[in-house]
């Protein structure tokens, strides 16, 4: 346990220690921090305490304004840093606990901090790895007998998104304008999106880079996966519907992608591993691994709107519903020799469970507009209205503690008049 006290349900336990980047009104310099309880430990202040064989000569990585340099050092450095953090934050260790001046300068209350993107995201890929979601969407438009495309159970399908419009939690999202074709018998029209949606996702952040031309074998993928965040892949469904043939998502997806500010390390998630989803047919050899790399992460989406006094929960799901693992996603992504860089973002795709209340998008909840979602007090939704605020939370439940991700929020602003 730690000398920093917090409630058992706190997302940022001693067993978690996620990484983020923050600033304060008193000091607008962006710096790397670790969350514990309601506090942030400023690593630029305590960098001298990282005296292990790898980090002793690389303490400068904790003076940076982003996590990329630290992550690029590799898995051994990540493990060493976690060991040091757990040592200096332990209730049995006095180096930080008993130094009043150091404690005063090293800790910042989270309520006083502004959070920023924790990494420089050079590239962003979004997968489509929930079988339930793929089946649901396919059934809407092609019928259940043709719901899954022939390639879906053979490889983790994905597309390349826009890293420039990835934003940190709390950033408002502007309703986009674009071309749509609401009536298939008439020409397309231009105007604000009318079918604004969310996608409940998670994502992993790539740590150490790989070499161009060299695939990452699935046995080595774990060396390149630093940690995970919550993600909302905002989607303009009417724009997407008109544009996606033949090259897939474009303007329907590039309006914004929100991630949570805290990166939970894979070491913190280790106790919550689950067996992988049974895959039929058996994947090709380069996608095969026997070790468990699925995770029991509880996910919840709430919607705050002007008509209701309190947010309404609209989705309860779990990351365990993924069909393809993160190892398989990364092995497939790089099998051509495509290299990854530190900070690359890899989205899971929409995470949908087996029951209606666990469907990970409003498209599924309203079944392409045929139903409404009841928010209570007579308020309903099919898709998002201006002013609606979406909040995603996620956590793993341990024995007397929680490893949580905090929040991933965004509020819809009206479209620009054009």
Strand partners, 106: none
With residues binned 3-state (H G I as helix, E B as strand, rest as coil), the percentages for the chain, rounded to 5, are 25, 30, 45
233 annotated binding-site participant: yes
72 annotated binding-site participant: no
Distance CA(281)–CA(23), nearest Å, equals 49
244 annotated binding-site participant: yes
Distance CA(403)–CA(395), nearest Å, equals 6
Distance CA(324)–CA(318), nearest Å, equals 14
Q: Which of 11, 133, 224, 332 is catalytic?
A: 133
Q: What is the CB neighbour count within 10 angstroms for residue 385?
A: 15
> Minimal CA–CA distance to 207: which of 183, 223, 230?
223
Strands, DSSP E only, in 198-256? 200-206, 225-233, 235-236
124 annotated binding-site participant: no
126 annotated binding-site participant: yes
153 annotated binding-site participant: no
The pair of structure tokens assigned to 400 is 């007397």
The yes-or-no answer on residue 133 being catalytic is yes
Distance CA(251)–CA(413), nearest Å, equals 17
Strand 173-174 versus strand 402-413 pairing type: parallel
323 annotated binding-site participant: no
Q: For the stretch 6-37, what's the b/e string if a residue is b when 16 or more beta carbons lie within 10 angstroms of its beta carbon?
A: beeebbbbbbbbbbbbbbeeeeeebbbbbbbb
Give Cβ neighbours of residue 206 (< 8 Å, ≥ 6 apart): 71, 224, 225, 226, 330, 340, 341, 342, 343, 344, 345, 346
240 annotated binding-site participant: yes
Q: Which residue has the tokens 């929960």?
A: 313
Strands, DSSP E only, in 55-141? 107-109, 113-116, 124-127
201 annotated binding-site participant: yes
199 annotated binding-site participant: yes
Q: Which residues are annotated as a binding site for substrate?
A: 128, 142, 240, 244, 350
Q: Which residues are annotated as a binding site for Ca(2+)?
A: 126, 199, 201
Q: Which residues are annotated as a binding site for Mg(2+)?
A: 233, 253, 257
Q: Which residues are annotated as a binding site?
A: 126, 128, 142, 199, 201, 233, 240, 244, 253, 257, 350
Active site residues: 133
């Amino acid at each position: 346990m730690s000398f920093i006290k917090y409630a058992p349900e706190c997302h940022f336990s001693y067993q978690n220690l996620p990484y983020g980047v923050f600033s304060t009104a008193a000091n607008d310099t962006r710096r790397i921090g670790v969350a514990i309880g309601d506090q942030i430990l400023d690593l630029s202040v305590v960098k001298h305490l990282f005296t292990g064989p790898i980090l002793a000569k690389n303490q400068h990585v904790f003076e940076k304004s982003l996590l990329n340099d630290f992550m690029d050092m590799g898995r051994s450095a990540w493990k060493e840093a976690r060991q040091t953090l757990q040592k200096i934050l332990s209730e049995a260790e006095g180096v930080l606990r008993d130094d009043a001046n150091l404690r005063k300068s090293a800790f910042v209350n989270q309520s006083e901090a502004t959070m920023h993107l924790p990494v420089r995201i050079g590239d962003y890929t979004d997968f489509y790895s929930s079988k339930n979601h793929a089946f649901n969407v396919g059934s809407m438009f092609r019928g259940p007998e043709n719901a899954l495309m022939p390639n879906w159970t053979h490889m983790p399908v994905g597309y390349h998104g826009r890293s420039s419009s990835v934003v940190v939690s709390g950033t408002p999202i502007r309703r986009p304008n674009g071309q749509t074709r609401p009536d298939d018998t008439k020409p397309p029209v231009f105007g604000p999106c009318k079918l604004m949606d969310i996608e409940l996702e998670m994502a992993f952040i790539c740590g150490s880079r790989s070499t161009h031309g060299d695939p990452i074998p699935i046995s080595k993928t774990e060396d390149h996966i630093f940690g995970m965040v919550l993600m909302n892949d905002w989607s303009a469904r009417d724009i997407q519907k008109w544009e996606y043939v033949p090259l897939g998502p474009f303007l329907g997806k590039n309006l914004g992608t929100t991630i949570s500010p805290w990166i939970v390390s894979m070491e913190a998630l280790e106790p919550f591993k689950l067996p992988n989803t049974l895959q039929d047919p058996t994947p090709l050899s380069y996608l095969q691994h026997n070790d468990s790399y699925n995770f029991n992460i509880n996910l919840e989406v709430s919607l705050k709107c002007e008509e209701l006094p309190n947010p309404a929960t609209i989705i309860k799901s779990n990351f365990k519903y993924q069909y393809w693992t993160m190892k398989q996603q990364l092995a497939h992504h790089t099998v051509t020799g495509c290299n990854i860089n530190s900070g690359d973002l890899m989205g899971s795709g929409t995470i949908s469970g087996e029951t209606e209340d666990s469907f990970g998008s409003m498209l599924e909840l309203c079944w392409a507009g045929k139903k409404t979602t009841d928010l209570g007090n007579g308020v309903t939704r099919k898709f998002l209205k201006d002013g609606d605020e979406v909040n995603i939370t996620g956590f793993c439940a341990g024995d007397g503690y929680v490893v949580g991700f905090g929040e991933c929020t965004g509020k819809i602003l009206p479209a620009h008049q054009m």
